[in-house]
Amino acid sequence: MTTAATVLTALVALIHVYIVILEMALWNTPRGRAAFGTTRELAAQTTVLAANQGLYNGFLVAGLLLALVGPEEHRFAFAAFTLGCVVVAGVFGAVTASRRILWVQAVPAALALAAQVLAR
């Protein structure tokens, strides 16, 4: 894996660690509500849904960590699969929830995936 592929994949992992924290721990805080544009009332009503969503983002983090430090012969497979999942989730989120998700999730993941493929 090249330095660019490693750095971009690590960046996507860090973005998702932050998303996990926002969704699982900070959902009902001013920071969490600002990040997702929710009101106090909506955040209170959707806490369990957000935590569930955060858990799924945690699985993406796990896949990206395996891409970075897992068994060397499987790193590319973990990277390709997980980054592909992030791209799909980011595009879906951009279409259904907020266009900003395209830039926060899908584009960084697509760049990391491209770097992974080029490094192969």
> pLDDT tens-digit profile of 92-112?
999 999 999 999 999 999 999
**Contact partners, residue 20, CB within 8 Å, separation at least 6:** 54, 55, 57, 58, 61
Q: Which pLDDT belongs to residue 105?
A: 97
Q: Token pair of 38, please? A: 């929710």
> pLDDT tens-digit profile of 57-95?
999 999 999 999 999 999 999 999 999 999 999 999 999
pLDDT category at 51 given cuts 50, 70, 90 is very high
Q: Token pair of 84, please? A: 């592909």
Residue 61's CB is within 10 A of a number of other CB atoms, namely: 19
